[in-house]
Amino acid sequence: MTRTLTNRTILMSGGSRGIGLAIALRAAADGANIVLLAKTDTPHPALEGTIHTAAEQIRAAGGRALAVVGDVRNDEDVERAVAAAIAEFGGIDIVLNNASVITLAGSQDLSPKRYDLMQDVNTRGTFMLSRAAIPALLKSANPHILSLSPPINLDPKWLGPHIGYTLAKYGMSLATLGFAAEFAEQGVAANTLWPRTTIQTAAVSNILGGEELMRRSRTPEIYADAAYLVLTSDARELTGRSLIVEDVLADHGITDLDKYAPGVDPADLFPDIFL
């Protein structure tokens, strides 16, 4: 059976820009309903887009959008976003844990405040948003939880350099795989998705490597296309997996990835962390 995201409702943390917005726009092309829970109510001086401009783009792409201004760290905001999604669209079919904070500092340079922020947004936010949506997901015909987080890799080269960030991202993955195990019998899929190469995002440009790393990165559309394939899969058949973007595409016969990095030699692409 061929599935689409037509009339399916996605509850997403973040999504004002970057990978989250790209996934939302891909779903909107099918006529999906997108509920964004994000803080960016007004323009940021260093970051493009707000929750409102994202909603406008989603509608222009063919979807329906609901902008819920709030913080995934705030339990009341999470509950409000879930309630708003159900009230506006009649339920929730997909939870997309997209919101994330990155700080690649070593333990001695990472402030307690920044550590707490990463754990609260990444790990706790993933757990609480997914948890709050479970009752609605259990009523969906094909429910999915998808977290943009890496496979658990215990190689010391990923454990040592940025312990705080590694804990936060692995926490997202552990929570997601936990939901897969807890709700396997009820048919709720929960998977993680991570790229082999860096993606052109504000984090890559502003934090990791500037314009040179952006040039050596793929566009967010590669993440969006892979996420679409995951979210349209049978929830009972694809769950509990730590998926890699390029592998998902290859499994569906998509091996020519040049369009995601036009003019860039594949050998020059920069590998992402955790793989």
Determine, yes or no, domain membership for 4: no
Adjacent-strand bridge partners of 5: none
Q: Is residue 275 a part of any domain in this protein?
A: no
Region 29-41: mean pLDDT is 96
What CATH code is carried by the domain that includes residue 228?
Answer: 3.40.50.720
Contacts of 40 (CB under 8 A, 6+ apart): 16, 17, 47, 49, 50, 51
* Residue among 115, 165, 228, 260 flagged as catalytic: 165
- Given a cut of 70, whether residue 2 has pLDDT beyond it is no
In whole angstroms, give the CA distance from residue 210 to residue 37: 28
Range of the domain at 67: 9-268
What's the average model confidence in pLDDT over 190-204?
A: 92
pLDDT of 204-233, one tens digit each? 777 676 788 888 999 999 999 999 999 999
| Span 125-172, pLDDT tens digits | 999 999 999 999 999 999 999 999 999 999 999 999 999 999 999 999
Reply yes or no on whether 260 is catalytic.
no
Sign of the CA dihedral with 250 first, then 254, 260, and 263 last: positive
The number of distinct structural domains making up the chain is 1
Residue 1 lies inside a defined structural domain of this protein: no
How far is residue 38's CA from residue 52's CA, in Å, rounded to a whole number?
10
Q: Of 86, 85, 89, which is closest to residue 37 (Cα–Cα)?
A: 85
- pTM reported for the whole predicted model: 0.96
